[in-house]
Amino acid sequence: MGLQSQQQLERDSVMQTYGRKPVMFVRGEGMRLYDDEGRRYLDFLAGVGAVSVGHANTRVAQALSEQAARLVHVGNYFYVEGRGELAGRLGQLLSGPAGMGPSWKLFFANSGAEAVEGAIKIARKHGTQNLDGAFAVVSARKSFHGRTLAALAATGQAAKQDAFGPMPQGFVHVPLNDVEALRAALDARGEGAPCAVLLEGIQGEGGVWPCEPEYLAAARAMTAERGMLLMCDEVQTGFYRTGTHPFSYQHHGVVPDVVTLAKGIANGMPMGAVAACGDAAELLCPGEHGSTFGGSPLAVAAAHATLDELEARDVASSVTRVGACLAEALQQCALVTEVRGRGLMLAAQLAVPVAQEAADAALAAGLVVNAIGDSILRLLPPLICTEADVDEALEILDGVLTRKAGE
């Protein structure tokens, strides 16, 4: 079945919640995608940052195949192989170099939004037990934490919320990197007093805006002083996406109380998790949270294989090196006024509002990138990206932007 037939079927039977591009991908291999007509594309979006070790990765595919032949699902009333080991491996990554950080416990979910929902429940229970019923979660403007109602309420983008009001109560948004605004929000009293702060190390969907080290350090200090939780949303930034360290907060020497994980955890297999340390790890009791599919044998197998591949490829160093190459090349492109981000999570700010047109033209030329709004291009290639891939991608992108500059 070709693209046109699929488009008609989806118009008839699928809710139109996406403005899909007129391409149907049917196969992938490493950094490459192939459509139904056999055209080849260089992928610099990676399923919005989820395909961390490349399409059709042999190690992950074999792990999924072998596990599917043994056991796919039994539910969380029972133990399954590998889940405890996976939680331990993730805990070691969260603890940082040589495991010098705290011990972590995890709850496995299916997505980033579910992970954020779990974090919000942990924060609310912490407020009930330790802060006289305080329940508000403070997050940043331009943030994005998911599409479920509570995660959407935590998201600092009114345009994504307007159609679904009224939003759940208990969420406060402050400007990113404004320490005094954060301090004022944390000092609020009365009904809706705060119990936690939720921050992305780099705001992905909001335009790839980094959290300044001083701001994150201040958030850690102020929440600790007030007995509140600091929660880091690492859904898009996690698993070496920002290079050197597994998670973006580790670049700044900060240790949060709660961390949300998803996307790159299982190379495109739906999986997420919320991790907590210290007293926060003991808050949720049997019956207070759950997931039918979370931590399934299939997802666990995919995550183990993905972590094995990340280690084997030493992406901690390669992402830093290739990311620097990509950032430097983007700076030289026509219309680019600023490059933001870290590692292989970068945005190119354009001088004119042609991001959507540029992304479409790049796709037609065989390069997959993402437009955020009208003047920002986002690049999230698989972490196996090389300097040669950067050269090929930027030849296409610079050509597209040069033509746009001349129009």
Asked if residue 19 has pLDDT above 90, the reply is yes
Q: Is residue 180 part of a domain?
A: yes
Q: 330 and 308: one domain? A: no
Percent with pLDDT over 70 in the chain: 100
Beta strands, E only, 100-168 = 104-109, 136-140
Q: 200 and 294: one domain? A: yes
* pLDDT, tens only, 112-138: 999 999 999 999 999 999 999 999 999
* pLDDT, mean of residues 227-235: 98
| End position of a domain, from candidates 248, 278, 312 | 312
Asked if residue 97 has pLDDT above 80, the reply is no
* CATH code, 364: 3.90.1150.10
Q: What six digits make up the tokens of 239? A: 């698993």
Q: 117 and 236: one domain? A: yes
> Range with the lowest mean pLDDT among 45-54, 190-199, 339-348?
190-199
pLDDT category of residue 224 using cuts at 50, 70 and 90:
very high
Q: Is residue 80 part of a domain?
A: yes
* pLDDT, tens only, 382-402: 999 999 999 999 999 999 999
Count the neighbouring beta carbons within 10 Å of the beta carbon of residue 294. 24
pLDDT of residue 130: 97
SS3 201: coil
Percent with pLDDT over 90 in the chain: 97
* pLDDT, mean of residues 348-367: 98
pLDDT of residue 191: 82
Asked if residue 279 has pLDDT above 80, the reply is yes
| End position of a domain, from candidates 297, 312, 327 | 312
Q: 154 and 251: one domain? A: yes
Q: 175 and 269: one domain? A: yes
Q: Is residue 144 part of a domain?
A: yes
DSSP for 13-37 reads HS---S---S--EEEEEBTEEEETT
Q: 188 and 249: one domain? A: yes
Contact 175, 140 (CB under 8 A): yes
pLDDT category of residue 98 using cuts at 50, 70 and 90:
low
* Inter-residue long-range contacts of 70-79, CB under 8 Å, 24+ positions, other chains counted: 70/297, 71/297, 72/296, 72/297, 72/298, 73/293, 73/296, 73/297, 73/298, 74/297, 75/292, 76/290, 76/291, 76/292, 76/294, 76/295
| End position of a domain, from candidates 279, 312, 345 | 312
pLDDT category of residue 101 using cuts at 50, 70 and 90:
confident
Q: 221 and 368: one domain? A: no
Q: 348 and 251: one domain? A: no
Q: Is residue 38 part of a domain?
A: yes
Q: Is residue 10 part of a domain?
A: yes
pLDDT of residue 370: 97
Q: How far apart are CA 238 and CA 310, in angstroms?
A: 12
Q: Is residue 79 part of a domain?
A: yes
Q: What six digits make up the tokens of 379? A: 């690049």
pLDDT of residue 402: 97
Q: What mean pLDDT is reported for the chain?
A: 97
pLDDT of residue 406: 87
Look at the block and give the residue holding tokens 């690492």.
234
Structural domain boundaries enclosing 277? 71-312
Q: 283 and 334: one domain? A: no
Asked if residue 99 has pLDDT above 90, the reply is no
Q: 258 and 163: one domain? A: yes
End-to-end CA distance of the chain: 37
Q: How far apart are CA 249 and CA 210, in angstroms?
A: 11
Q: 121 and 218: one domain? A: yes
What is the number of helices (H) and of strands (E) in the chain?
Answer: 13, 17
* pLDDT, mean of residues 166-176: 97
pLDDT of residue 300: 98
Q: 127 and 238: one domain? A: yes
* CATH code, 89: 3.40.640.10
Q: Is residue 156 part of a domain?
A: yes
pLDDT category of residue 192 using cuts at 50, 70 and 90:
confident
Tally of domains in the chain = 2
Q: Is residue 23 part of a domain?
A: yes
